[in-house]
Amino acid sequence: MKLETLKSIISKKKNKTEFAIITNLSTGESEIFEKEKPLSKELEKYSNQINEFFKSKKNGVIDGTEIFIETYIKPIKVIIVGAVHIAQYLVEFAKSLNFEISIIDPRGYFASEQRFPEMKIINKWPDEAFKQIETNENTALIALTHDPKIDDPALQHALNKKFYYVGALGSKKTHANRCERLKEAGFSSNQINSIHGPIGIKLGGRSAPEIALSIIAQLVAETYKK
């Protein structure tokens, strides 16, 4: 691999840029692929296959060739609102996944460095906290507090920004009341129905780690639907 290519790879990783390294295994020559950017003449004929690998976030060799594709996908931003017990297990599950976690909770006695070591913690109300986080349709929100004063502003922000995943903890009755408040706030049925509530896939578990597992499983499933 050329030094120039290696330096570019290091820079892109540092800046969390999405890219792929395309390597001809027979020659050892490599080049960087980025979405919407042209490929070299040698690789141009494989553009459809390369794009498919990149889109599906997979590594592998193109069938019938010596062309190896290694993808580097930007971490998904996951914002957890509510530094509750379940959130601690969520963070543990997410550590080995491609997620960049932020925790929002104005209650400092919940959202502390001691309970969430090495995590980005914002001890502010959601309206203020979101001013510190760049969000878009590639962001996910997990609302856990059951407190409308905290959860509702976060859910409204997520719906307005078209987060690809929005989930909220609570019973069916709690969620129905939540949906009614969002309707009164001017959100459409389509927007409200996009919320996963009650959150998580149905595993049947009730303990904090089991609920956290059901949430992370649903989040991963929705991530691969993007």
Q: Give backbone dihedrals phi and psi of 70, rounded to 5 degrees, phi first.
A: -120, 115
200-225 per-position pLDDT tens digit: 998 888 899 999 999 999 999 998 88
Same domain membership, residue 93 and residue 61: no
Quote the number of domains for the chain: 2
DSSP helix/strand/coil, 124: coil
Judge whether 110 and 135 are in contact, CB under 8 Å: no
**Could you report the per-residue pLDDT of 57-108, keeping only the tens digit for each?**
789 999 999 999 998 877 889 999 999 999 999 999 988 888 999 999 999 8
Residues 91 and 127 in one domain: yes
Is 90 in the same domain as 114? yes
Which parts of the chain fold into alpha helices (H)? 3-14, 41-44, 47-55, 85-94, 126-129, 148-160, 172-184, 189-193, 208-223
Domain ranges, residue 89: 76-223
Question: What is the spatial distance between Cα 6 and Cα 28, in angstroms, rounded to a whole number?
Answer: 13
Last residue of a domain, one of 72, 87, 110: 72
Which of 40, 72, 104 is at the close of a domain?
72
Based on the fold, state whether residues 57 and 136 are members of the same structural domain.
Answer: no
